Amino acid sequence: MPSDQLNLYRLAFSFQDFSIMDFRWLLVHLLPSLGFILALALLSHILRERRPPTSTLAWLMAIIFIPYLGVPLYLIFGGRKMLDKAGTKPELAQDRSRPLNDAHIRDAVLLEPDSGISPPSANNRVTFLFKGEQAFETIVDLIHQASHSIFVATFILGKDETGSAIVHALAEKASQGLTVCLLLDALGSVRISQKFLSPLLAAGGHVAFFMPMIHLPFRGRANLRNHRKMLICDNRSAIIGGMNLASEYMGPKEVAGRWQDLSLLVQGPVIDHITDVFRSDWKFASKTLLDDHATTNPATRFNTRGVTQLVASGPDVRNDSLRNAILTEIFRAERRIWVMTPYFVPDEMLLEALCIAVRRNVDVSIIIPKKSNHRLADLVREGYLTRLQESGADVWLYEPRMLHAKAILVDDSLAMVGSANMDMRSLLLNYEIALCLYDADAIGQLEAWMLDLIRKDCSARQRQPKRSFGLIESVGRLFAPLL
């Protein structure tokens, strides 16, 4: 072999050896060093965050003992508050309250307005939507009657008959020149494609996805979802509650096995506050601000006393406003606390507050589905429910089908209905919304509906407490903040 060719081979092998050594050095020295620095930064960040001790400890252990898994998981799922991004959103609790002149209303025990907690407003009309068929018909009617603007936010838009019907109804109004905005959560509506939304987009409607799952590092949190459900027409009527826009929740005709759920039709001054929340979310997701003229139509006034107060909770709110509101009402309760929820995975403070209420001779009752659509959540809830029952609380299992309604009754003074489950994900991670009702008629309607479900559809006997728990249940509790 010629010497020149031999030298070229030697040079090539030397470069190959150098590249292999360089790559090994990168794996053995540089990447671990960078990972160590990143882990230290994350540990410092976790310790500064206001999160439950169990959650803090779980993330600390994951990052310290399994950093190659814990660090990337925290970057994807770990963030809780995004206060640095809150400045990009309009202020939620704008003071649009009207004077509460009625002496009875002024003396009522209301929540103190704060970040995420709007001032109370009177003269609102609230209609309960107890059935999915009723909710669907109301939504379609409101869309058809709209003359100026339609704003819709939902966690899940079904790729089914219900979702298609609503998209086409919105498209029809957009083609007539109305401002139509549809806000979808990127995870909950992950199956929704541009093709499915094409009728609305072609008609001039606007669509935005909240918190895309794929993003640049540190530019968002895949774990923080927009779980709010809102429909606002002409700033005059709104629907909020627990129902997503899919066939499991609602539809034009009754379907066997459809979930039992609950939403509210709201009219009156509180619409201003609901619209504020939507405009804030829309600006955050679409990077565009809705024109003022789209939301300045005066809300209709009604000759009713209906006093309501909106609570919006999420990573952009400094306090855990919804959780704190629930805690406040639990400690205020003198006679009863009835909780209806599809999943029951509270944090320690909420659980202890309920146990203390039982010891104060308050009637604490939890209404949950006998079997939910999340097996892991059902396993994890067992320990929490048993602890409550051992304190003296009642737990009722709804048997016919999935129960997805979220409602709380406190004494005869408060009813709370919204999108949040009684779990750590809803109360500490997600963007949620709830309406507090202080009107005696509304409270009475919700009480009658709850009692009817207990008498007709819950187990003849209450849930029997479990004294021991399997390994899966115990391990599952470690993941409770993510359920």
pLDDT per residue as tens digits for the range 353-380: 999 999 999 999 999 999 999 998 998 8
Q: How many domains does the chain have?
A: 3
Specify whether 157 is located in the same domain as 202.
Answer: yes
Residue 369 belongs to a domain: yes
Who wins on pLDDT, 34 or 144? 144
The mean of the pLDDT values for the chain is 81
Report the percent of the chain where pLDDT is more than 90.
Answer: 60
Specify whether 55 is located in the same domain as 142.
Answer: no
Specify whether 370 is located in the same domain as 442.
Answer: yes
Who wins on pLDDT, 135 or 429? 135
Residue 282 belongs to a domain: yes
Average pLDDT value for residue range 82-107: 49
Domain stops at, among 303, 329, 344: 303
Please give the Cα distance from 235 to 238 (Å, whole number): 8
pLDDT digits (tens, 9 = 90+) for 252-307: 999 999 999 999 999 999 999 999 999 999 999 999 998 765 444 444 555 457 89
Residue 337 belongs to a domain: yes
Cα 252-256-261 angle, rounded to 5 deg: 70
Strands 336-340 and 363-369: parallel
Q: What is the pTM of this model?
A: 0.81
The candidate with the shortest Cα–Cα distance to 339, out of 256, 398, 252, is: 398
pLDDT for 78 equals 55
Residue 138 belongs to a domain: yes
Specify whether 136 is located in the same domain as 55.
Answer: no
Residue 207 belongs to a domain: yes
CB 251 within 8 A of CB 143: no
CATH of residue 466's domain is 3.30.870.10
pLDDT of 223 over the 90 cut: no
Residue 316 belongs to a domain: no
In terms of residue numbers, what domain contains 391? 321-482
pLDDT of 232 over the 50 cut: yes
pLDDT-derived band at 13, boundaries 50, 70, 90: very low
Residue 31 belongs to a domain: yes
Residue 411 belongs to a domain: yes
pLDDT-derived band at 104, boundaries 50, 70, 90: very low
Question: Which residues fall within 8 angstroms of residue 212, CB to CB, at 6 or more apart?
Answer: 186, 220
Specify whether 343 is located in the same domain as 298.
Answer: no
Who wins on pLDDT, 1 or 42? 42
Q: How buried is 459 (Cβ within 10 angstroms: 0-12 exposed, 13-18 middle, 19+ buried)?
A: middle
